[in-house]
Every structure is written in C-alpha cells, then in structure tokens.
Amino acid sequence: MIEFRTLREIERAARSKIDDHAWDWLECGAENELTLQRNRQAFERVALRPRIFRDVSHVDLTTQVAGLNLPVPIMVCPLGGLTIYDDGGEEAVARSITEIGSILCVSAMARLKLSDLSQVLPP
C-alpha cells in the first residue's frame, strides 16, 4: 500500500493517472477561482503541531453540524461528473462517507439517483 504524507503527494499521484480533460474538471474552481484560492489560503494557515508521548488511545473527532452528531469533521460536498474518473466513482464515494457515518450531499448532476443510492448504501 502506498503511504502519503502530504496532500501534494496525493495530488501528484492522482495527476499521473488522470487525463488532461478530467484533471481540469477536478482542479479548477468556479468563475475566477476566488473561493478556491481562499480555501487554499485557509488550509495553509492551519499548522499541525506534532505531539509526542501523548495518550492517543482515545481520540475524539466528533463534531456537530446542523444539529447532527458526526464522528469526524468530514463531509462530501456535491460532486458531479465523478464517473469520468471511475465508473463506480459516485457509488464508492457515497459508500465511503456512509460507512464513516457522515454527510453526503448528492449533486443534481450525479448519474445515480437518490433512489439508486438507497439501494446500494447500508441503511
């Protein structure tokens, strides 16, 4: 299994497997890409401080979003066109986020309909 240490490493590995058209769709932002720039700047401001010799036997990442308790602060935003990366891409993303018990926003451009998803996802 490949181990990645940074987001850049993941991005480079993905870039080598995706053709130019699909990469542009994934990488570009809307309109003048201001939100994309601001998101990058916000993430770059976050510093992770390595802590050693701490008891990590119980790590609690739970959080609340819109009154829902989530196990991790990760949700999936609406993503259309996932099938250009993998035919089962929409189902794989939906299954992964459902397995960790978090929120999936289904894109209006998704190929799978909500009724299809309810067939393939755990209740």
Q: How many whole angstroms separate alpha carbon 106 and alpha carbon 113?
A: 9
Cα 75 from Cα 102, distance rounded (Å): 6
Return the residue of 14, 18, 26, 117 that touches ligand FMN, per CB under 6 A: 26
Residue 78 binds ligand FMN, judged by CB under 6 A: yes
Interface pick for ligand FMN out of 18, 89, 107, 111 (rule CB under 6 A): 107
- The token pair at 50 is 């390595």
Grouping H, G, I as helix, E, B as strand and the rest as coil, residue 16 is coil
CB of 71 to ligand FMN, least distance (A): 19
- Least distance to ligand FMN from the beta carbon of 53, Å? 35
Residue 106 lies near ligand FMN (rule: CB under 6 A): no
Least Å distance between CB 74 and ligand FMN?
11
Q: Does residue number 35 form part of the binding site for ligand FMN (CB under 6 A)?
A: yes
For residue 25, state whether it binds ligand FMN (rule: CB under 6 A): yes
Q: Is 89 exposed, middle or buried (0-12, 13-18, 19+ CB in 10 A)?
A: middle
Q: Given the complex with ligand FMN, which of 41 and 57 has the nearer CB atom?
A: 41
d(CA 5, CA 112): 33
> How far apart (Å, rounded) are the C-alpha atoms in residues 103 and 66?
11
- Give the interface with ligand FMN as residue ranges (CB under 6 A): 25-26, 35, 39, 77-81, 107, 109
